């Protein structure tokens, strides 16, 4: 199917732009589509069934994006384990750099804002408290696969310049982690908007680290694995800290 579409469009770059744009728009509005269609039905469900519904919606998008990038996933999976230790070393190295920048910048922001945390982080914590198992799936499987395929593979297909790709990939990745809170708080308080803009630094640092890793290894599993490990460690630490 993909080869037929490529032949029809002819220009490969236009094909990749249309592909990424379509998936990116779906990624943003996917949940809203289903909640708009089934909203009246969902509102009467118990919290457990609402969580299950969200799981199914996420799973459907995951199936969609995996099917779109199946060839890449299949090829890179084999190559990742063929040169496993080298890929792992590069992945850990650049993730660690991004993680250190993330931790330091978070600490500085906490000091500047008297203990503020990112809106995205606050929302994740609330959802973990409600349904830890669903959130484990969401942050450890769903987010790493969908976000890495879109932000790393998708942008790499279009942007060939090394640093332009790394900056755009990391910047948009970070931006989408703070943008919902900024939009939601636009009419509430200026201080929230400012603090969220500051949180661009830690989120972008990790996005840039993942983008650089993908550029170095040219293997999407290098970033999917580290993204998954990072998120899983974060949720486990939160669960331990909260006593859940």
* Res 191: pLDDT: 67
* Domains held by the chain: number: 1
Q: What is the per-residue pLDDT for 41?
A: 85
Count of residues for the chain?
A: 244
Paired tokens of 151: 């932000």
Tell me if residue 17 falls in helix, strand or coil: helix
2 Cα distance to chain centroid:
24
This prediction's pTM: 0.91
Domain that holds residue 33: 2-242
Give the pLDDT score at 194: 75
Distance CA 119, CA 117 (A): 6
What is the reported pLDDT for 185? 61
Please report the pLDDT score of residue 151 as a whole number.
96
DSSP string, 167-220: HHHHHHHHHHHHHHHHHHTTTT-HHHHHHHHHTHHHHHHHHHHHHHHHHHH--H
pLDDT of residue 2: 57
pLDDT tens across the length of the chain (244 residues): 555 555 566 667 888 999 999 999 999 999 999 988 888 888 888 888 889 999 999 999 999 999 999 999 999 999 999 999 999 999 999 999 999 999 999 999 989 888 878 888 888 888 898 899 999 999 999 999 999 999 999 999 999 999 999 999 999 999 998 887 777 665 556 667 777 888 999 999 999 999 999 999 999 999 999 999 999 999 999 888 776 5
């Amino acid at each position: 199917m993909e080869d037929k579409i490529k032949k029809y469009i002819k220009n490969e770059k236009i094909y990749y732009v249309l592909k990424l744009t379509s998936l990116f728009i779906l990624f943003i509005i996917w949940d809203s589509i289903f909640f708009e269609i089934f909203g009246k039905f969902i509102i009467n469900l118990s919290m457990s069934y609402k969580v299950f519904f969200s799981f199914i919606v996420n799973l459907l998008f995951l199936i969609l994006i995996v099917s779109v990038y199946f060839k890449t996933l299949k090829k890179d999976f084999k190559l990742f384990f063929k040169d496993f230790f080298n890929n792992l070393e590069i992945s850990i190295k650049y993730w660690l750099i991004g993680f250190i920048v993330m931790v330091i910048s978070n600490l500085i922001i906490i000091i500047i804002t008297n203990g503020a945390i990112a809106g995205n982080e606050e929302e994740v914590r609330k959802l973990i408290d409600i349904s830890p198992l669903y959130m484990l799936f969401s942050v450890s499987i769903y987010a790493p696969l969908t976000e890495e395929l879109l932000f790393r593979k998708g942008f790499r297909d279009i942007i060939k310049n090394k640093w332009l790709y790394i900056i755009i990939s990391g910047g948009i990745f970070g931006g989408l982690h703070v943008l919902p809170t900024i939009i939601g708080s636009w009419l509430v308080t200026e201080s929230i908007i400012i603090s969220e803009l500051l949180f661009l630094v830690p989120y972008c640092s990790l996005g840039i680290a993942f983008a650089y890793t993908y550029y170095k290894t040219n293997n999407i599993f290098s970033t999917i694995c580290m993204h998954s490990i990072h998120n899983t460690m974060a949720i486990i630490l939160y669960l331990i800290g909260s006593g859940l």
